[in-house]
């Protein structure tokens, strides 16, 4: 209990459709209830969209000071990309707004495009994102149907694996720098292929040296925590 309250790192496997805020709150209130605390310091090191799953690092107590350092760490994601169609949000949050041909896309073209998306790059974040411009979140403007110029940002793709798994689907694994929007990467890959694309699934598997293989689902974490068996060094560091 003492290390949990004073400060530690907790690795959570965020479920689909949960917000990062929900995951943090779920554990926060369970811990506060268990130990009858009036307040408890906890935060996460890097948001995951509700449509994404995978590694979410939670920091408690004095370890919340490590959040900026953890946010700066490179990350690894896996997922799938649908070819031949785009959406305004670059993922499944919004409906398809345009369709494109895919018959010309060969394995050789996919390999060529893959090489284009490795190294130091500039990227435009999606309009459907939490980035602020003139005091407003971009997604607030997007949902009103307003458009605005989104500033480019510098990112690094350390490694990108692309594989065609169906006529109109790619699977991927990407090792990237902080600030990389995988939705934008999917969108840009579609354009580079002379078609369109959007993200259909996303899972974060690693942040720095921390792996999702060592993480617990929120409910499983709480169950073990309440049963006094939460002393697994893989989960609480």
Give the C-alpha distances (Å, rounded to integers) separating 99 from 90, 94, 127, 128, 191.
Answer: 13, 14, 19, 20, 12
Q: What is the 3-state secondary structure (H, E, C) of 42-59?
A: EEECCCCCCCEEEEEEEE
Q: Which two tokens stand for residue 73?
A: 């760490």
Kindly report the number of other CB atoms within 10 A of residue 101's CB atom: 11
Give the C-alpha distances (Å, rounded to integers) separating 134 from 119, 123, 137.
Answer: 31, 20, 8
Q: Which of 232, 210, 213 is nearest to 221 (CA)?
A: 232
E strand residue ranges, the chain: 7-14, 42-44, 52-61, 75-83, 85-86, 98-99, 119-123, 132-133, 136-137, 153-166, 169-176, 197-207, 210-211
CB-based contact 80:53 (threshold 8 Å): no
Does the annotation count 49 as an active-site position? yes
Q: Which two tokens stand for residue 29?
A: 């209130």
Rounded to the nearest 5°, which phi and psi values hold at 33?
A: -65, -45
Catalytic residue among 49, 72, 107, 232: 49
Q: Round to whole Å and give the CA distance between 185 and 90.
A: 9
Give catalytic residues, as residue numbers. 49
């Amino acid at each position: 209990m003492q290390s949990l309250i004073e400060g530690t790192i907790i690795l959570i496997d965020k479920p689909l459709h949960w917000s990062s805020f929900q995951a943090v709150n779920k554990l926060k209130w369970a811990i506060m209830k268990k130990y009858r605390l009036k307040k408890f310091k906890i935060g996460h090191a890097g948001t995951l969209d509700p449509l994404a799953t995978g590694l979410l690092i939670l920091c408690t107590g004095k370890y919340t000071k490590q959040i900026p350092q953890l946010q700066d760490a490179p990350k690894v994601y896996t997922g799938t990309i649908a070819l031949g169609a785009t959406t305004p949000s670059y993922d499944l949050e919004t409906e398809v707004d345009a369709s494109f041909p895919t018959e010309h896309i060969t394995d050789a073209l996919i390999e060529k495009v893959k090489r284009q998306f490795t190294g130091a790059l500039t990227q435009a974040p999606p309009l459907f994102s939490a980035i602020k411009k003139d005091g407003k979140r971009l997604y607030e403007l997007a949902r009103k149907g307003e458009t605005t110029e989104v500033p480019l940002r510098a990112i690094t793709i350390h490694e990108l694996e692309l594989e065609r798994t169906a006529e109109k689907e790619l699977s991927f694994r990407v090792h990237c720098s902080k600030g990389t929007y995988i939705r934008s990467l999917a969108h840009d890959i579609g354009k580079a292929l002379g078609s369109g694309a959007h993200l259909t699934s996303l899972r974060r598997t690693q942040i720095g040296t921390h792996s999702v293989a060592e993480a617990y689902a929120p409910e499983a974490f709480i169950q073990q925590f309440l049963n006094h068996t939460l002393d697994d060094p893989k989960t609480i560091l």
